[in-house]
Every structure is written in structure tokens, then in C-alpha cells.
Amino acid sequence: MSDPITVLVVDDEPAFREALRQALKREGFLVHLAADGEEALEYFRALQPDIVLLDVMLPRMSGVDVCRQIRSVDDTPVIMVSARNEEIDAVVALEIGADDYVSKPYRTRELIARMRTVLRRVSANPRTVGDAEVTVGDLHLDRERHEVTLAGQSVELPLKEFQVLAELMENQDLVVTRQDLINRVWGYDYEGDTKTLDVHIKRLRAKLEPDPANPQRIITVRGVGYKMSA
């Protein structure tokens, strides 16, 4: 018998947490609860859950900041939840690496179905790993240590930016299509906004290019994708 899927539910409303815990338990999930952002990170590090349900509005640390910290070190699926039905929430959630976004109120069965979809996508699309280390000009990337250096100076990158850069560096001077980058980094079943990729490219250029407005390393091939140049 396989181990139950572990879910970390993060919400500051006790009644909501308990109701969701009961619903998820009936579906066979192993559920842990956190009431604020700092507690969520403590539980995440200790439990290493299979999936996180993360409310946007939390005391002590926002759900957005919690998701950013998770994404800086780990690729665990995160579904963000908010009572505010505002487009900006969904955009921000997906840009920082959330796998899905759900607005309250929602039907519990729909939420569970979306959880299972995200978990299937992650299972069906394991991250492919190329060379452990790759160098392009004065830019060096080490997958195993999750380290990037530029001219010998360390560059801190969140997980998704790191993965995008790795794909480009491993295909130096070759055009990698936008769709291929999305498939390799976010998974073949990703249904979020493709502009998320553009946001990550922009952030990478800000950290790696002498003049981000006139990039010389990460080159845009219009209508196709991007390529890495030395």
C-alpha cells in the first residue's frame, strides 16, 4: 500500500482549517495545519509535505512571501487560495511559482480535483536533469549545489529562475522555444499564463546582464523563444 499524500493547509481561520482537514481526511490525505506564514515555513521544513494549500492573506508573513521562500529551495506543488477575487492575486501567485490559484468561496470537491491534477502533473513530468555543472563564458551553474556564479561572484536565484537558466545554458547558442522552456520547467500540463516565463527572463537579465535593456547573454528570438550566448 502506498503512503498517503501529505498536505499542509495554511489558513488563519480555525473553522476553515478544520473543515478542510475533515474533507481531505475523508479523501485519504494526511493533513497538517498551520495558522500563519512563519508557522507554515517551520512545518514545511519539518514535514516536507507533498502539496501545500496556502492562503494569500496570513498573519506574520503573507502567503506570497511564504510561496517565494518555498520556491527558492524546493519544487513542492503549491496551490494558493484567496477570498479576494482579484486578478492581481492570480497573476502574482503564478509569477512567484504557485502551481494553481483558487478563489474563495469554492467547492471542496473542485479544490480536491485540482489538487489531484497538480499532483498528477508533477508525477507525470519529473524534472529532467542535465549535466551537474555547465559554463557559458564567465557564467557558471552547478545543479547539485544550486549555485550560480558570474565572473566568480555568487548570484542568488529562486528555483524557477535557476531552472530556466539551466535549460538555456545547457543549450548554448541553440534556440529553445518558449513552449519547450515551459514544458521543461513548469511541466507539460501547465495551464497558467505563459507570460510567467517572460517575467522570469526579465528577472534573470536584471541579475546577469550589464545592460538588461540590451541583453547580450539571454537573447530573444522573436516569435520563437530564447537562446544563451557567451
Give the CATH number, domain containing residue 35. 3.40.50.2300
Instruction: Tell me which of 103, 124, 145 is where a domain ends.
Output: 124
Q: Is pLDDT at 29 greater than 90 in this prediction?
A: yes
Q: Is pLDDT at 30 greater than 90 in this prediction?
A: yes
Q: How far apart are CA 7 and CA 30, in angstroms?
A: 6
User: What's the domain range around 141?
Assistant: 133-228
| Predicted model pTM | 0.60
Q: 96-129 burial, b for 16+ CB within 10 Å, e for fewer?
A: bbbbbbbeeeeeeeebbebbebbbebbeeeeeee
Do 99 and 39 belong together in one domain?
Answer: yes
Assess if residue 202 is contained within a domain.
yes
Assess if residue 204 is contained within a domain.
yes
Assess if residue 1 is contained within a domain.
no
Q: What average pLDDT is seen over the chain?
A: 85
Assess if residue 60 is contained within a domain.
yes
The number of distinct structural domains making up the chain is 2
Instruction: Tell me which of 91, 124, 157 is where a domain ends.
Output: 124
Taking Cα atoms as reference points, which of 190, 204, 191, 208 lies closest to residue 161? Answer: 204
Q: Is pLDDT at 17 greater than 60 in this prediction?
A: yes
What would the pLDDT profile of 66-82 be if each residue is shown by its tens digit?
998 888 777 888 998 88
Instruction: Tell me which of 84, 104, 124 is where a domain ends.
Output: 124
Split at pLDDT 50, 70, 90, the class of 118 is: confident
Do 118 and 14 belong together in one domain?
Answer: yes
Do 74 and 172 belong together in one domain?
Answer: no
> Exposed (0-12), middle (13-18) or buried (19+): which is 7, by Cβ within 10 Å?
buried
What would the pLDDT profile of 198-228 be if each residue is shown by its tens digit?
889 999 999 999 999 999 999 999 888 999 9
Do 223 and 120 belong together in one domain?
Answer: no
Indicate the range of 81-85, 118-122, 145-149 predicted with least confidence: 81-85
Q: Count of CB atoms within 10 A of residue 58's CB?
A: 22
